[in-house]
Amino acid sequence: MGSSALQSDGFNVYMYLDNELINIDHLCCLAHARAKFKYALEQGNDEDAEYFLRLIAMLYELEEEYRLRHLTSETDTTKKTRRKDSQDHTSVTAKAGQTSG
C-alpha cells in the first residue's frame, strides 16, 4: 500500500477519483461491504453472501477479543497467541480464496 489512503463507503462516485488520485490507495469500509452482503442474502438467499457474512463476523469477533485484551498491533503478545491468530487468519483467507475462484 502507498503512503496515502482514502477510505470511503463505496459510493460509486468515488470510483472516478481513482484516475485523479493516482498515488492514493482507495480503501472500502468493511461495515458498508458487510451491508451489501447482508442485502444480497436478504434479497436472494445468496450462499456466497452468507459465507462472507460469517467470515466478517469472525473478524469482528477477533477484533472484540483484541479490544477486551487491550491488544494493539504494537502489543508484544505470547508466541502462542500470535500462532493461533496466524492460523485463524490463514484459515479465513484460504476459505475466502476458495469462494472467490
Q: Quick one: residue 10, left, alpha or beta (phi over 0 = left, psi -120 to 50 = alpha)?
A: left
pLDDT tens-digit map of 38-84: 999 999 988 899 999 999 999 999 989 999 998 887 776 555 555 56
| Local confidence band at 2 (pLDDT 50, 70, 90 cut-offs) | very low
How far apart are the two ends of the chain, measured CA to CA in Å? 24
pLDDT at 1 over 50: no
Phi, psi of 65 (to 5 degrees): -60, -45
pLDDT at 28 over 90: no
Query: What DSSP line would sit under 8-70, residue for residue?
Result: E---GGGGGHHHH-TTEEEEE-HHHHHHHHHHHHHHH--HHHHHHHHHHHHHHHHHHHHHHTT
